[in-house]
């Protein structure tokens, strides 16, 4: 078990999640930076925060930025303890519970010195599933109570923040999510077109090598060229036509019965996917330059990267069960009955 120093990730590195960032800053930072005001208002700070939503949309980045911001606003240092849920599971009885106790013991040790500690549980649903569900060999019957005991003990500490991340919040034991524990719940949605522009602005900037033809088309204005290239990516991803149709899903609704709808690339886009598209275009630029070409990012290379990433993206091809598709698609109010990849055989 290693306590890491705070990651060098700030809120400015995160695009398209302004509303969610404000919510988590209100829940986490205000109590730490202004404890006198909280005592004056007799307001108890939240003990924990749950970030939930589809994979690849920035949950871990936000947790890292919280740790960095707490360090900058306090004594200039903070600690970020990153716990991946599956890593804690152990086949020996009582070992997982012991590891949870060790995690919080280390957090208390650092917090006692006045340094803020962020305890971040990634993939939280793999560890703290609903008791009696019959999954995970019923290990949750003892792991969940251990976690509840530790969270309830956090009220004695001024500098420990518990943040959980999951894309299946429905599988987490309700006792962990009740008010007084992880009582602040923030949904991290897939980016819309405007949010995608903000995310791309972090990855496709004017100081990167740009194709000379693209620069010439914008009279040498690097900012205008970069902005135009970002629009190319967004237009390719967020168009809704036959070429961008990916999946046809049939869902069962409690009230209205079964229904069928078509999902496009825009419905499966994530921040991680946008970053990967730009990375592919950069690789193509490097290969072109090594082959004797002009190199640089261009609209053609970005469109090609969009097609390649859409075809190979793990979110589209990785799920094989209704539960897996629900995780990837972020479906919360319906049950997925079947999924058909358009242009391919039904699955």
pLDDT at 70: 78
The per-residue pLDDT for 149 is 80
Let me know if 76 is exposed, middle or buried by CB neighbors in 10 A (0-12, 13-18, 19+).
exposed
Instruction: Please list the residues that pair with 51 across neighbouring strands.
Output: 165, 186
Q: Half-sphere exposure of 71 toward its Cβ, with a 13 Å CA cutoff?
A: 20
Round to whole Å and give the CA distance between 254 and 335: 9
- Cα distance from N-terminal residue to C-terminal residue, the chain: 41
CA 80 to chain centre: 16
Q: In order along the chain (347 residues), what is the average pLDDT of each group of 10 residues?
A: 69 88 88 86 86 86 84 67 73 75 86 83 80 60 79 68 84 82 87 93 94 93 95 93 82 76 85 92 94 92 90 59 68 72 55
Q: Which two three-digit tokens encode residue 217?
A: 């088309």
List the Cα angle 286/291/294 in 5-degree steps: 65
Q: What is the pLDDT of residues 97-108, one digit of tens each?
A: 888 888 888 888
Beta-bridge partners for 4? 80
- The CA–CA distances, whole Å, from 283 to 52, 62, 232, 267, 278 equal 32, 27, 18, 26, 9
pLDDT digits (tens, 9 = 90+) for 52-64: 988 888 888 888 8
- State the burial class of residue 183 (Cβ atoms within 10 Å of its Cβ: 0-12, 13-18, 19+): middle
| Alpha helices by DSSP H, the chain | 18-24, 30-33, 35-40, 59-73, 85-88, 95-111, 140-153, 174-177, 193-203, 212-217, 222-238, 271-290, 299-312, 314-317, 322-329
Closest CA to 70 of 182, 158, 152, 151: 158
Residue 73 and residue 32 in contact, taking contact as beta carbons nearer than 8 Å: yes
Residue 346: the pLDDT is 43
Selection from 113, 241, 125 nearest residue 173 by Cα: 125
Name the β-bridge partners of 129.
172
Q: What is the pLDDT of residue 316?
A: 53
143 neighbors 27 (Cβ within 8 angstroms):
no
Kind and range of the H or E run holding 187: strand 184-187
User: What is the C-alpha to C-alpha distance for residues 162 and 184, in angstroms, rounded to an integer?
Assistant: 11
pLDDT value of residue 323: 67
Contact 126, 79 (CB under 8 A): no
pLDDT of residue 345: 45
């Amino acid at each position: 078990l290693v306590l890491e120093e705070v990651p060098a990730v700030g809120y400015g590195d995160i695009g398209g999640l302004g509303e969610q960032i404000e919510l988590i800053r209100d829940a986490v930072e205000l109590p730490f930076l202004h404890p006198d005001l909280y005592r004056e208002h007799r307001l108890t700070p939240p003990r924990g925060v749950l970030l939930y939503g589809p994979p690849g949309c920035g949950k871990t980045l936000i947790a890292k930025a919280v740790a960095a911001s707490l360090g900058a606003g306090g004594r200039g240092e903070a600690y970020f303890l990153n716990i991946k849920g599956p890593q804690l599971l152990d086949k020996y009885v009582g070992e997982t519970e012991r590891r949870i106790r060790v995690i919080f013991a280390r957090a208390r040790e650092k917090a006692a010195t006045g340094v803020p500690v962020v305890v971040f549980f990634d993939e939280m649903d793999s560890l703290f599933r609903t008791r009696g569900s019959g999954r995970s060999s019923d290990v949750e019957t003892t792991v969940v109570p251990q976690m509840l005991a530790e969270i309830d003990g956090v009220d004695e500490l001024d500098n420990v923040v518990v943040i959980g991340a999951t894309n299946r919040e429905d599988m987490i034991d309700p006792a962990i999510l009740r008010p007084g524990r992880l009582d602040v719940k923030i949904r991290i949605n897939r980016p819309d077109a405007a949010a995608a522009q903000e995310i791309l602005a972090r990855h496709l900037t004017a100081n990167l090598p740009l194709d000379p033809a693209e620069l010439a088309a914008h009279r040498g204005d690097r900012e205008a060229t970069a902005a135009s290239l970002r629009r190319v990516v967004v237009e390719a991803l967020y168009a809704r036509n036959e070429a961008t149709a990916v999946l046809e899903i049939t869902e069962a609704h409690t009230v209205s019965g079964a229904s069928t709808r078509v999902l496009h690339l825009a419905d499966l886009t994530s921040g991680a996917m946008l970053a990967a598209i730009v990375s592919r275009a950069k690789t193509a630029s490097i290969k072109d330059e090594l082959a004797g070409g002009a190199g640089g990012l261009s609209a053609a290379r970005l469109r090609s990267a969009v097609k390649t990433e859409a075809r190979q993206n793990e979110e589209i091809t990785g799920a094989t069960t209704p539960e897996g598709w629900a995780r990837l698609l972020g479906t919360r109010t319906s049950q997925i009955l079947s999924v058909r990849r358009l242009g391919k055989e039904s699955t």
